[in-house]
């Protein structure tokens, strides 16, 4: 379980995350939604120990993140950030290898190589393994990073807006992949999404944030409600039932 | 003759073999250790040429003097190459170097301040070791402060930091010049002698000390090589992979500072050297792994120094202008790098 | 460029009282420092001494031959360098450029070196002409080179300029070194007014004339500062205005170089400070930039004379320290473009 207990984070006078208590890990995919500046990315940074909370604490599998060894955490929790700019020229294989760093500290064992192969296979990257990251398309790059996270072999996987800058086809591809990872590999995935319809289609649970607070936290179907969504985004949202699935319409 | 007939006899197979051979060479060339071995061989050849050509008098004497120069070059190449590559990895860019961040100008300022406050007598009266220790110590303290100020807090853009470094350099230079104006002419003369970058006449004792320090720094890096590889992914990703980022960076910065300080205090400032060496090493090494890029940087640094010295001495007959040439070539190379990156 | 538009729009009316106040302060300082500059120096040139001796006294001679020319030169050099910086910032649409951060000064210096080698006996006017021609070349080269950089890369532009200057400077140094001219080049390029006297400063009037030209063309530079498309859209002959700007910059740089040497960062810092106070309208900014630059250089020059009395410290050193500190402050206070 990932548990946030009364977590607060401030930047100067502004409170970005305001007394949030949440647990993740009970369901396959939990989607984190909310308008820009709602505190989603900050929340991720707090769980991923990039930031320290001003108040409260984050506990992963019973261990306080503030005191845990970074390496042990890295075997339980993998975080994929939004902006993955790499100055060096790395091949896909190099990148996926990095996923084994928490386990092997860079000296690869047979088990490590096995994990790397499986991750590359799972993301169908075999043909690209020797390619440099800057030679890949956006979707392939994102898959390479997810393969790295997969090779890390953690129970919890956190992804911050993995659909950013992807076209429609690659967006669905990535979301389907996450769904498979949750169902087949028993991963517990927390993902920040901008598109609520993707959240509704692929997530088991939706957590909506606004101004640093959690304003809705329920099964995907329940959050897909015009009143709830309007409260979250401050703009009228219509929800229609199409082929038995709730679809939010916000273009009107 | 025999080979010729042989070739004609097997003519149809020859192209295939040639391509296979070519492919074999290409595969070999892709291996980082092959590239390093070749680099090492070229360096050894250059050193031999340097040591044994145009010996004016006694061979033993020439070997001794030139041997010292070669040793100084090796120490400087190691210090500059290693510190620049590590600095690049920590800061996540390939343009900034400690020298460009105002480090060299600060060295001049430190030396000036020492002369100013203690009188030029200090250069004579103090034994060089004490003086050198003071310089290294102050520079390490400065770089620790500078690095933690620039890179410790919020992430700023690389170009902004670069401009800050350049302007800091002007600031330090103006300040030292002001101090120098306040010196009497004798003191000034002694100071300017000490300031000129020179590889050809290193003090033996200082060379030994510097070599020892640089060696210690390099050894301290060995267990961190793989962590450095992970740091190329950037600090968030590295933290996600279990690197204790803060602790590692706080270990690495002193090593970088130590190496830069030690080598600058030995031979004086060479502004763009680290930049050229590191960037050539990245493309030459054929791998991003520090196990390969670090030795490649050292090797290329050595080759630049010894090759440059040879070319200048043998072909043009200038001695002592190597650092000027490096500045010129480095400036052009730097422009090329910045413009190529900027255009993207 | 949106920042420039925003800056013009945001020169707010309600701040006018404070602006008048600051403007008055600059004016008063200018007068005070000018007077002070006339009377500071090794020899006694005080009002009392002047009254004592009458027209034929040493004091009167010094006043006419040295102090007055020096003070005039300082004021004009300061004002015109500030304007050169301002115009350059408009042409390049970047706040961090001036002749010294774009290689223009180094090109002009190279031109000076050439005259020293090829025509040692050349009249000072000719030297300035050659330096100006090379300065013009430098401006052109710089403008060509930075076309490769996207406009929003604000900080990259001065970096490229400084490096360009460094490369040209190292060529100059190399030749000067080979030809044994390093020392005289160094002495001469070092910014200082200590050698200014009657008959050896009049070139700065040409720089002053350029300031007047700049004032006449002020509105055009404002428009050019908004970008080529914007300028063409308003029916402006963009290339011609840029050409005029380049000439102004080159002539000012060369005149200052020949009279006083290199004075770093002045043209960069002052227009930025002025822009903070009154915004980016060139017509409005010109008197401010000219006045504040003159005050700044006057103050530094007086400081250079008294700080190690009776010796002089080069002005460029003092401007370098203060200017670099201000530049750093300008860079680091702008948090917004860390991206």
DSSP three-state, residue A152 = coil
| Structure confidence at residue B29 (pLDDT) | 81
pLDDT digits (tens, 9 = 90+) for C202-215: 888 999 999 999 98
Across A198-217, b (16+ Cβ under 10 Å) vs e yields: bbbbbbebbbbbbebebebb
| Structure confidence at residue C10 (pLDDT) | 41
A2-249 has CATH 3.40.50.300 classification: yes
Euclidean distance between CA atoms A2 and A59, whole angstroms: 6
CB contact under 8 A, B242 and A48: no
CA distance C225 to chain B (A): 22
Euclidean distance between CA atoms A104 and A102, whole angstroms: 6
> Which of residues A123 and B182 earns the better pLDDT score?
A123
Between B227, B237, B282, which is nearest A84 by CB?
A: B237
| Structure confidence at residue C293 (pLDDT) | 94
Whether the CB of C325 is below 8 Å from some CB of chain B: the reply is yes
pLDDT confidence band for B81 (50 / 70 / 90): very high
Strand partners, A29: A189
- Best of B89, B233, B286 to disrupt the A interface (most A CBs within 10 Å) is B233
Q: How many domains does chain B have?
A: 1
Partners of residue B236 in chain A, C-beta under 8 Å: 48, 50, 79, 81
Contact of chains B and C by CB distance (3 or more pairs under 8 angstroms): yes
Euclidean distance between CA atoms A69 and A76, whole angstroms: 11
Is the dihedral angle over the CA atoms B80, B86, B91, B95 positive or is it negative?
positive
| Structure confidence at residue B240 (pLDDT) | 82
Burial class (CB in 10 A: 0-12, 13-18, 19+), C202: middle
Instruction: Of A186-195, A211-220, C211-220, C227-236, give the lowest mean pLDDT range.
Output: C227-236
Please provide the average confidence, as pLDDT, over all residues in chain C: 81
Q: Least CA distance to C163: which residue of chain B?
A: B331
pLDDT digits (tens, 9 = 90+) for C273-317: 888 888 878 888 899 999 999 999 999 989 888 887 777 888 888
- The pTM for the full model equals 0.77
- Best of A70, A79, A95, A130 to disrupt the B interface (most B CBs within 10 Å) is A70
What mean pLDDT is predicted for residues B6-22?
Answer: 60
pLDDT digits (tens, 9 = 90+) for C2-14: 343 333 334 444 4
Q: Does residue B286 register a pLDDT over 50?
A: yes
Strand partners, A17: A9
Tokens encoding C23: 């403007």
DSSP three-state, residue A22 = strand
- Tell me the residue length of chain C: 339
CA distance C156 to chain B (A): 6
Tokens encoding A153: 């072999």
Percent of chain B with pLDDT over 70: 80
Between B226, B227, B232, which is nearest A87 by CB?
A: B232
| Structure confidence at residue B198 (pLDDT) | 62
| Structure confidence at residue C82 (pLDDT) | 93
CB contact under 8 A, B163 and C308: no
Q: Tokens 């197979």: give the residue.
A: B13
| Structure confidence at residue C42 (pLDDT) | 65
**Between residues 198 and 237 of chain A, which touch chain B (CB distance below 8 Å)?**
none
**Between residues 93 and 132 of chain B, which touch chain A (CB distance below 8 Å)?**
93-94
Partners of residue A69 in chain B, C-beta under 8 Å: 242
Whether the CB of B230 is below 8 Å from some CB of chain A: the reply is yes
| Structure confidence at residue C84 (pLDDT) | 93
Whether the CB of A87 is below 8 Å from some CB of chain B: the reply is yes
- Best of B165, B171, B275, B316 to disrupt the C interface (most C CBs within 10 Å) is B171
- Best of B240, B279, B290, B291 to disrupt the A interface (most A CBs within 10 Å) is B240
Euclidean distance between CA atoms B20 and B15, whole angstroms: 8
Whether the CB of B344 is below 8 Å from some CB of chain C: the reply is no
Q: Least CA distance to C178: which residue of chain B?
A: B318
CA distance A19 to chain B (A): 24
Partners of residue B234 in chain A, C-beta under 8 Å: 84-86
Q: Does residue B49 register a pLDDT over 80?
A: yes
Run of H or E residues at B215: helix B204-221
Highest mean pLDDT among A162-171, B6-15, B74-83: B74-83
Q: Does residue A75 register a pLDDT over 60?
A: yes
Q: Does residue B255 register a pLDDT over 60?
A: yes
pLDDT confidence band for C152 (50 / 70 / 90): low
What mean pLDDT is predicted for residues B277-302?
Answer: 90
Q: Tokens 């070599």: give the residue.
A: B211
Q: Does residue A86 register a pLDDT over 50?
A: yes
Tokens encoding B119: 């009188």
Percent of chain C with pLDDT over 90: 18
Q: In this structure, is residue B302 part of a structural domain?
A: yes
What mean pLDDT is predicted for residues A205-232?
Answer: 86
Between A72, A94, A98, which is nearest B241 by CB?
A: A98
pLDDT digits (tens, 9 = 90+) for B313-343: 777 666 556 667 777 777 788 788 777 765 4
Q: Nearest to residue B307, comparing CAs of B208, B199, B235?
A: B199
**Between residues 157 and 186 of chain A, which touch chain B (CB distance below 8 Å)?**
none
Phi, psi of A18 (to 5 degrees): -120, 95
Q: Least CA distance to C323: which residue of chain B?
A: B171
Sequence spans of domains, chain A: 2-249
Whether the CB of A101 is below 8 Å from some CB of chain B: the reply is yes
| Structure confidence at residue B298 (pLDDT) | 94
Between B88, B232, B236, which is nearest A81 by CB?
A: B236
Domain range enclosing B134: 35-343
| Structure confidence at residue B192 (pLDDT) | 67
What mean pLDDT is predicted for residues A168-176?
Answer: 88
Whether the CB of B189 is below 8 Å from some CB of chain C: the reply is no
| Structure confidence at residue B119 (pLDDT) | 66
Instruction: Of B170-174, C2-6, C257-261, give the lowest mean pLDDT range.
Output: C2-6
Strand partners, A247: A240
> Which of residues A13 and C99 earns the better pLDDT score?
C99
Q: Least CA distance to A51: which residue of chain B?
A: B236
Whether the CB of A78 is below 8 Å from some CB of chain B: the reply is yes
pLDDT confidence band for B3 (50 / 70 / 90): very low
Q: Does residue B1 register a pLDDT over 60?
A: no
Tokens encoding C244: 């005029």
What mean pLDDT is predicted for residues A7-23?
Answer: 87
Euclidean distance between CA atoms B128 and C59, whole angstroms: 52
Q: How many CB pairs under 8 A join A and B?
A: 68
| Structure confidence at residue B216 (pLDDT) | 92
Euclidean distance between CA atoms C68 and C204, whole angstroms: 14
Q: Does residue C1 register a pLDDT over 50?
A: no
Whether the CB of C306 is below 8 Å from some CB of chain B: the reply is no
Quick check: bond before B16 cis, omega within 30?
no
Chains linked to C by 3 or more Cβ pairs within 8 Å: B
> Which of residues B57 and A203 earns the better pLDDT score?
A203
| Structure confidence at residue B23 (pLDDT) | 81
Partners of residue B233 in chain A, C-beta under 8 Å: 84, 86, 95, 98
Beta sheet of A188-192, edge-to-edge order: A77-80, A156-160, A188-192, A29-33, A205-210, A213-219
CA distance C231 to chain B (A): 24
Report DSSP state, residue B95: S
What mean pLDDT is predicted for residues C131-150?
Answer: 87
| Structure confidence at residue B121 (pLDDT) | 61
Q: Least CA distance to A106: which residue of chain B?
A: B226
* Residue B67 burial (CB count, 10 A): 13
Euclidean distance between CA atoms A86 and C253, whole angstroms: 42
What mean pLDDT is predicted for residues A44-60?
Answer: 87
Q: Least CA distance to A98: which residue of chain B?
A: B230
Burial class (CB in 10 A: 0-12, 13-18, 19+), A104: middle
Euclidean distance between CA atoms B257 and B147, whole angstroms: 9
pLDDT confidence band for C56 (50 / 70 / 90): low
Partners of residue C321 in chain B, C-beta under 8 Å: 171, 174-175, 178
CA distance B224 to chain A (A): 10
Q: Does residue C39 register a pLDDT over 90?
A: no
Between B229, B234, B236, which is nearest A106 by CB?
A: B229
* Residue B241 burial (CB count, 10 A): 26
pLDDT confidence band for C190 (50 / 70 / 90): confident
Partners of residue B155 in chain C, C-beta under 8 Å: 338
What mean pLDDT is predicted for residues B132-155?
Answer: 74
Q: Least CA distance to B327: which residue of chain C?
A: C170
Q: Least CA distance to C142: which residue of chain B?
A: B335
| Structure confidence at residue B7 (pLDDT) | 42
What mean pLDDT is predicted for residues C239-247?
Answer: 90
| Structure confidence at residue B5 (pLDDT) | 40
CB contact under 8 A, A88 and B282: yes
pLDDT digits (tens, 9 = 90+) for A173-195: 889 989 988 888 888 999 998 88
pLDDT confidence band for C192 (50 / 70 / 90): confident
Note the ipTM here: 0.79
Quick check: bond before B221 cis, omega within 30?
no
Domains annotated on chain C, with CATH? 2-333 (1.10.3470.10)
Q: Nearest to residue A16, comparing CAs of A192, A214, A211, A160?
A: A211
pLDDT confidence band for A156 (50 / 70 / 90): very high
Burial class (CB in 10 A: 0-12, 13-18, 19+), B118: middle
Run of H or E residues at A242: strand A238-242
Q: Does residue C195 register a pLDDT over 90?
A: no
| Structure confidence at residue C280 (pLDDT) | 78
DSSP three-state, residue B161 = helix
Between B156, B335, B342, which is nearest C167 by CB?
A: B335
The CATH code of the domain that includes B143 is 1.10.3470.10
Secondary-structure breakdown of chain A: helix, strand, coil percentages, each rounded to the nearest 5: 40, 30, 35
pLDDT digits (tens, 9 = 90+) for B25-34: 888 887 888 8
CA distance C189 to chain B (A): 14
Please provide the average confidence, as pLDDT, over all residues in chain A: 86
Between B162, B170, B343, which is nearest C320 by CB?
A: B170
């Amino acid at each position: 379980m990932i548990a946030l207990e009364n977590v607060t984070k401030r930047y100067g006078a502004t409170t970005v995350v305001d007394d949030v208590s949440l647990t993740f890990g009970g369901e396959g995919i939990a989607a984190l939604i909310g308008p820009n500046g709602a505190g989603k990315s900050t929340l991720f940074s707090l769980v991923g120990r990039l930031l320290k909370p001003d108040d409260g604490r984050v506990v992963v599998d019973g261990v306080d993140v503030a005191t845990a060894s970074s390496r042990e955490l890295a075997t339980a929790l993998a975080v994929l950030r939004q902006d993955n700019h790499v100055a060096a020229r790395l091949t896909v294989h190099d990148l996926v290898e990095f996923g084994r760093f928490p386990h092997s500290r860079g000296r690869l064992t047979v088990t490590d190589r096995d994990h790397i192969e499986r991750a590359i296979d799972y993301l169908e990257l075999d043909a690209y393994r020797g390619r440099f990251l800057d030679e890949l398309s956006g979707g392939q790059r994102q898959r390479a990073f997810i393969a790295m996270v997969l090779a890390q072999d953690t129970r919890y996987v956190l992804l911050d807006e993995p659909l950013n800058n992807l076209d429609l086809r690659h967006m669905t591809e990535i979301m389907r992949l996450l769904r498979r990872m949750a169902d087949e590999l028993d991963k517990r995935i927390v993902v920040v999404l901008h598109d609520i319809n993707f959240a509704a289609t692929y997530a088991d649970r939706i957590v909506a944030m606004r101004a640093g607070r959690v304003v809705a936290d329920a099964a995907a179907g329940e959050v897909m409600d015009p009143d709830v969504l309007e409260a979250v985004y401050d703009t009228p949202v219509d929800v229609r039932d199409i082929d038995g699935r709730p679809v939010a319409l916000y273009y009107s | 003759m025999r080979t010729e007939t042989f070739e004609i006899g097997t003519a149809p197979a020859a192209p295939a073999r040639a391509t296979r051979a070519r492919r074999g060479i290409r595969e070999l060339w892709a291996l980082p250790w092959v590239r390093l071995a070749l680099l090492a061989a070229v360096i050894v050849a250059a050193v031999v040429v340097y040591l044994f050509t145009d010996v004016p008098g006694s061979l033993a004497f020439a070997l001794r003097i030139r041997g010292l120069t070669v040793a100084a070059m090796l120490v400087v190449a190691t210090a500059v190459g290693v510190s620049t590559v590590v600095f690049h990895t920590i800061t996540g860019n390939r343009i900034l170097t400690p020298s460009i961040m105002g480090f060299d100008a600060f060295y001049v300022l430190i030396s000036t301040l020492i002369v100013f406050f203690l009188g030029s007598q200090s250069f004579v009266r103090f034994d060089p070791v004490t003086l050198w220790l003071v310089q290294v110590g102050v520079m390490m303290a400065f770089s620790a402060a500078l690095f933690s100020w620039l890179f410790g807090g919020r992430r700023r853009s690389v170009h902004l930091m670069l401009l800050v470094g350049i302007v800091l350099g002007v600031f330090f230079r103006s300040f030292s010049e002001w101090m120098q104006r306040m010196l009497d002419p004798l003191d000034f003369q002694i100071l300017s002698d000490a300031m000129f970058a020179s590889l050809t006449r290193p003090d033996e004792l200082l060379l030994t000390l510097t070599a020892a320090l640089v060696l210690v720094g390099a050894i301290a890096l060995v267990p961190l090589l793989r962590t450095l590889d992970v740091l190329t992914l950037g600090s968030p990703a590295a933290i996600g992979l279990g690197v204790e980022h803060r602790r590692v960076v706080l270990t690495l910065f002193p090593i970088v500072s130590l190496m830069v300080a030690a080598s600058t205090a030995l031979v004086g400032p060479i502004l763009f050297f680290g930049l050229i060496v590191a960037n050539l090493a990245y493309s030459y090494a054929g791998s991003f792994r520090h196990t390969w890029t670090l030795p490649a940087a050292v090797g290329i640094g050595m080759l630049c120094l010894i090759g440059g010295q040879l070319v200048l001495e043998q072909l043009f007959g200038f001695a002592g202008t190597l650092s000027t040439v490096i500045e010129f070539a480095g400036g052009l190379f730097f422009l090329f790098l910045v413009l190529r990156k900027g255009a993207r | 460029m949106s920042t420039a538009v925003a800056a013009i729009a945001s020169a707010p009316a309600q701040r006018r009282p404070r602006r008048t106040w600051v403007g008055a302060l600059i004016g008063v300082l200018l007068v005070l420092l000018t007077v002070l500059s006339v009377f500071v120096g090794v020899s006694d040139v005080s009002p009392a001494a002047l009254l004592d001796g009458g027209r034929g006294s040493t004091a009167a001679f010094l006043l006419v031959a040295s102090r007055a020319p020096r003070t005039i030169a300082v004021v004009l050099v300061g004002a015109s360098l500030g304007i050169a910086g301002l115009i350059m910032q408009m042409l390049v649409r970047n706040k961090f450029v001036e002749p010294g951060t774009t290689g223009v000064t180094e090109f002009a210096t190279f031109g000076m070196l050439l005259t020293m080698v090829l025509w040692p006996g050349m009249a000072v006017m000719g030297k300035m002409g050659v330096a100006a021609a090379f300065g013009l070349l430098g401006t052109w080269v710089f403008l060509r080179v930075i076309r490769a950089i996207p406009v929003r890369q604000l900080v990259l532009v001065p970096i490229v300029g400084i490096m360009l200057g460094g490369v040209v400077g190292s060529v100059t140094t190399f030749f000067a070194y080979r030809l044994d001219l390093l020392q005289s080049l160094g002495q001469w390029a070092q910014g200082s007014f200590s050698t200014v006297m009657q008959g050896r400063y009049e070139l700065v009037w040409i720089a002053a004339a350029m300031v007047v030209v700049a004032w006449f063309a002020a509105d055009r530079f404002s428009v050019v500062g908004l970008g080529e498309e914007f300028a063409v859209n308003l029916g402006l002959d963009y290339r011609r205005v840029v050409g005029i700007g380049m000439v102004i910059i080159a002539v000012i740089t060369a005149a200052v170089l020949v009279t006083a040497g290199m004075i770093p960062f002045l043209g960069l810092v002052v227009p930025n400070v002025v822009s903070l106070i009154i915004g980016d309208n060139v017509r409005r900014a010109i008197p401010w930039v000219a006045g504040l630059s003159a005050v700044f250089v006057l103050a530094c020059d007086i400081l250079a004379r008294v700080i190690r009395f009776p010796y002089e410290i080069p002005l460029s050193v003092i401007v370098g320290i203060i200017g670099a500190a201000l530049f750093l402050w300008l860079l680091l206070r702008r948090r917004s473009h860390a991206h």
